[in-house]
Amino acid sequence: MSKTIEIKKVHIRNLLISFILGFGILFGLEHFGKFSYIADSPNQNNYEKPSLVQYVPSNTKVLRIYFDSYFNNRIETAGNGFDLYDMSYANTDFKKYSVKSYYYTKATIKDYKFGVYISLTLFIITLFFTNFKIKLT
């Protein structure tokens, strides 16, 4: 009296599609993350009065770039030669999608478990609807 487990091709296909969609959704969610940075601002002279407002020129180099992902994981890189002008204004090198996609990809890799959760949820939903038919009368 042996029991056999039958795996249909449809289920394997749905599993692969759900993983592709799950990580695609995760990559899309990473676009809602936030960028921040630390500038290489000059140090305050100890003999001057402290000031709460300090002007930092736009050609000041950026020391660190941070990307806080949608799921609150932080991606941290060096300044990569960017300056404050690149970080603040549109149509600069940093605002190009090819630069930002590096951070989105790193965040997707760091948040992989959420991609797996999304994929498994999609797979369970498709598994439910392929095995059960719902009729409304």
Q: What is the pLDDT of residues 85-120, one digit of tens each?
A: 888 888 888 888 988 999 999 999 999 999 999 999
Half-sphere exposure of 1 (CA within 13 A, CB side): 0
- Domain-embedded: residue 44: no
* Number of domain units in the chain: 1
Of 25-29, 37-41, 109-113, 116-120, give the lowest mean pLDDT range.
37-41
- 33: which residues sit within 8 A by CB, 6+ positions away? 67, 68, 69, 70, 103, 104, 107
* Predicted TM-score of the model (pTM): 0.80
Domain-embedded: residue 137: no
Note whether residue 48 is domain-resident. Answer: no
pLDDT of residue 91: 84
Q: Reduced to 3 states, what is the DSSP secondary structure of residue 65?
A: strand
Q: Which residues pair with 68 in a beta bridge?
A: 34, 74
pLDDT in tens, 50-79: 667 777 788 888 899 999 999 999 999 998
Domain residues for the domain of 92 are 9-39+57-131
Q: Residue 45 — pLDDT band, cuts 50, 70, 90? A: low
